[in-house]
């Protein structure tokens, strides 16, 4: 089971790298905002998985707060894209 968790962490790391390549190749700001959001959710996945190794109950709490409040970053990026207009 520990090996499976390490495989999952490896897959998340690969998806972060693929996301960074997608950001480097992105043309417009919207694509960069979306891939930034994907990388954010990858880090939420990292948090949840790495929290398991230390047997700390904080991992589910952190995932809860990140998914509830992390969307503010997406709304901020959306507002930046439209240069402050609604």
Write out the residues near other proteins by the rule CB under 8 A.
Answer: 1, 3-5, 7-12, 14-16, 18-19, 21-22, 25, 28-31, 33-35, 37-38, 41-42, 44-45, 48-49, 51-52, 55, 57, 59-61, 63-64, 67-68, 70-71, 74-75, 77-79, 81-83, 85
- Are 73 and 62 within 8 A, CB to CB? no
Q: How far apart are CA 41 and CA 36, in angstroms?
A: 9
> CB of 60: closest distance to other proteins in angstroms?
5
């Amino acid at each position: 089971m520990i090996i499976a968790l390490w495989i999952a962490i490896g897959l998340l790391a690969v998806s972060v790298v693929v996301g960074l390549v997608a950001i480097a190749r992105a043309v417009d700001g919207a694509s960069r905002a979306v891939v930034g959001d994907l990388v954010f959710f990858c880090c939420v996945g990292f948090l949840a998985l790495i929290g398991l190794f230390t047997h700390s109950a904080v991992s589910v709490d952190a995932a809860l707060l990140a998914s509830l409040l992390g969307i503010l970053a997406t709304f901020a990026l959306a507002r930046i894209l439209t240069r402050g207009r609604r």
